[in-house]
Amino acid sequence: MARRTKIYEGKAKTLFEGPEPGTIVQYFKDDATAFNAEKKDVIEGKGVLNNMLSEYFMNGLTAIGVPNHFIKRLNMREQLVRACEIIPLEVIVRNTAAGSMSKRLGIEEGTALPRPIVEYCYKDDSLGDPLVSEEHIAAFGWASQQDMDDILSLALRVNDFMSGVMYGVGIKLVDFKIEIGRVYEGDFQRLIVADEISPDSCRLWDMETGQKLDKDVFRRDLGSLTDAYSEVAKRLGVMPKGATPMKPTLIN
């Protein structure tokens, strides 16, 4: 079998050259990191869950016409995606105050926001992904004004889609982060949702109990991360009986 060429290794995923030009194989690792990798662990089964969940959300986005990088899932840990130039921004949408916004502005976690708030962070681990304004983005040429209009529209469409899907299974979408990629089609370029959408990159709270079903379980030592992600997968019908190599007791 031909050896695959590694393109990039991130904290939670590794990217390999895909079988066709313009494609990439995205491998989901079990590594979990928080606070810019100050806290690290290996959580058995996390990669499988995020692979399946990201497939589910990206397919849903495709179905409602939100362009994204997903082509197909290859196996339990890998998916084939469209190659794109990642815009160096983390695009965060918040519906409810939590995390760094609560800390920064002194707003109690769980406070409903009057409207979805979109924030941008500059993607640079050595700087700890600092919050930036549209002024920085324009001045440093990270994205054009047209790009910013498209990014805002994509972010709000993903928010509406994800909020609705989660509401349907009794989960509140508190906030999430997406990354956006640029693809070239002939003389045109357009922006698509890239990277992943999973409980690693969202805050998900059970609507009745407020139980956290996302990476805060790891960040804040609140229990088993795979139990939390499995609960999300189970409610969405993404993880059928026996389809996981994790401890069988986690899934019923």
77: contact with ligand TMP by CB under 6 A: no
Question: 173's torsion region: left (phi>0), alpha (psi -120 to 50) or beta?
Answer: beta
Within 10 angstroms of residue 164's Cβ, the number of other Cβ atoms is 12
203: contact with ligand TMP by CB under 6 A: yes
> Per-residue x/- mask for ligand TMP, residues 43 to 62, rule CB under 6 A?
--------------------
232: contact with ligand TMP by CB under 6 A: no
Q: Provide the minimum distance between the beta carbon of 110 and ligand TMP in the complex, in angstroms, as a whole number.
A: 13
Q: Considering only residues 106 through 125, tell me which ones interact with ligand TMP, judged by CB under 6 A.
A: none
CB-CB contact of 235 with 219 (8 Å): no
Within 10 angstroms of residue 62's Cβ, the number of other Cβ atoms is 14
Alpha helices in the chain (DSSP H): 46-63, 99-105, 134-139, 145-167, 216-219, 225-236
> Per-residue x/- mask for ligand TMP, residues 129 to 158, rule CB under 6 A?
x-----------------------------
Residues 6+ apart with CB under 8 A from 136: 122, 142
Paired with 86 in beta bridges are: 181
Total site size for ligand TMP, rule CB under 6 A:
12
How far is 183 from 205, CA to CA, in rounded Å?
34
In the list 15, 82, 88, 99, the residue contacting ligand TMP (rule: CB under 6 A) is 99
Q: Provide the minimum distance between the beta carbon of 4 and ligand TMP in the complex, in angstroms, as a whole number.
A: 26
In the list 25, 89, 92, 137, the residue contacting ligand TMP (rule: CB under 6 A) is 92
Q: Provide the minimum distance between the beta carbon of 219 and ligand TMP in the complex, in angstroms, as a whole number.
A: 8
In the list 194, 202, 233, 251, the residue contacting ligand TMP (rule: CB under 6 A) is 202
CB-CB contact of 78 with 51 (8 Å): yes
Q: Which CB atom, from 11 or from 182, has the smaller least distance to ligand TMP?
A: 11
In the list 23, 29, 78, 100, the residue contacting ligand TMP (rule: CB under 6 A) is 100
DSSP state of 44: T
Q: Provide the minimum distance between the beta carbon of 134 and ligand TMP in the complex, in angstroms, as a whole number.
A: 17
For the chain, the farthest-separated pair of C-alpha atoms sits apart, in whole angstroms, at 55
13: contact with ligand TMP by CB under 6 A: no
Per-residue three-class SS string for 84-126: CEECCEEEEEEEECCHHHHHHHCCCCCCEEEEEEEEEEECCHH
Q: Provide the minimum distance between the beta carbon of 204 and ligand TMP in the complex, in angstroms, as a whole number.
A: 9
Which residues make up the interface to ligand TMP (CB under 6 A)? 92, 98-101, 129, 175-177, 201-203
